[in-house]
Amino acid sequence: MLADTEADAFALTGDIGEANDVAIFLNNIEQRVERPVYFVLGNHDFYRGSIAGVREKIRSLCSVTANLHWMPNAGIIPLTKDTCLVGHDGWGDGRLGDYHGSDVILNDWGLIEEFGGFHEVRDDRLAKLNALGDEAAVHFRSVLPEALKRFQHVVVLTHVPPFREACWHEGKISDDNWLPHFTCKAVGDALVEAMGAVPDRTMTVLCGHTHGGGEAQILPNLRVLTGGAKYGVPVVQRVLEV
């Protein structure tokens, strides 16, 4: 399907596979499309493995394939003289909604090694979620000043919606029960901070994770496109012209 499109490059916002096959799927995609593939990883990509282990596997893969670019390692990617691409996986960091009141139990807790299983102490898990969100925010704060200095328009790839308004599910914004697990406030704060300082620049954020599609205008110069998804039925969300 991807190979048959006329796109010059592809952007994937995560949940490509699981720990044992995500690298295989990416390698297959790269061989079939023979064009640049820019991607971040989603929580599903670490299932039945570890965050550290999958990241190392992906770094190794990208080092020997010309067209695969994992955004946390890729830095700033020029797309045109006016537009660049940056990105980081992100994570549901527990900061929006009601984390302590939420009854949501994610497969993440039992299927990703860094989490201590379904019976892990809730506060210990929150500290890990905060740290993963903060890691992503640090990355964006490190690359955005240079990106916004050099380019008029910045496209951001991340897996987890960085704002409440972009956390779509079945046509509605997720409620406080789900928001802690499906938004990354740390990244949202970093993006608002960066774009609020440069009203003459624009940003488009591409994300997924919630399985519901929608658009959100966060600032006059900051728009978020959340891609929908159905298990087993991958589709091209849209074609962006830059």
| Residue range of the domain that includes 121 | 73-225
* pTM for this entry: 0.97
Question: Using the 8-state DSSP alphabet, how is residue 164 labeled?
Answer: G
Is residue 85 helix, strand or coil? strand
Domain membership of residue 24 (yes or no) is no
Is it the case that residue 77 has pLDDT exceeding 90? yes
- Residue-wise pLDDT for 167-196, tens only, equals 999 899 999 999 999 999 999 999 999 999
- Residue-wise pLDDT for 8-67, tens only, equals 999 999 999 999 999 999 999 999 999 999 999 999 999 999 999 999 999 999 999 999
In the chain, which ranges are continuous DSSP H helix?
22-33, 51-63, 71-74, 108-111, 122-150, 179-182, 185-196
Tell me what pLDDT residue 94 has: 98
Residue 231's pLDDT band (cuts 50, 70, 90): confident
Domain membership of residue 235 (yes or no) is no
Nearest to 212 by CA among 195, 201, 225: 225
Domain membership of residue 237 (yes or no) is no
- SS3 string, 172-215, reads EECCCCCHHHHCCHHHHHHHHHHHHCCCCCEEEEEECCCCCCEE
Domain membership of residue 38 (yes or no) is no
Cβ count within 10 A of residue 176:
13
Tell me what pLDDT residue 105 has: 96
Amino acid identity at 86: V
Please answer whether residues 160 and 91 qualify as being in contact, where contact means their C-beta atoms are separated by less than 8 angstroms.
Answer: yes
Tell me what pLDDT residue 108 has: 97
- Residue-wise pLDDT for 127-161, tens only, equals 999 999 999 999 999 999 999 999 999 999 999 99
Domain membership of residue 68 (yes or no) is no
Please answer whether residues 92 and 184 qualify as being in contact, where contact means their C-beta atoms are separated by less than 8 angstroms.
Answer: yes
Tell me what pLDDT residue 234 has: 87
Q: Extract the tokens encoding 237.
A: 């969300």
Distances (CA, A) of 163 to 62, 95, 96, 224: 30, 11, 9, 9
Handedness of CA 95, 101, 104, 105 (dihedral sign): positive
Domain membership of residue 111 (yes or no) is yes
Domain membership of residue 169 (yes or no) is yes
Distances (CA, A) of 15 to 38, 39, 47, 195, 209: 14, 10, 10, 27, 8
CATH number assigned to the domain comprising residue 125: 3.30.750
Tell me the pLDDT of the chain averaged across its residues: 97
Q: Extract the tokens encoding 46.
A: 């670490």
Domain membership of residue 118 (yes or no) is yes
201: Cβ–Cβ under 8 A, 6 or more apart, which residues? 148, 151, 152, 153, 154, 195, 221
Per the structure, how many domains does the chain have?
1
Q: Which residues pair with 22 in a beta bridge?
A: none
Q: Extract the tokens encoding 136.
A: 């992503």
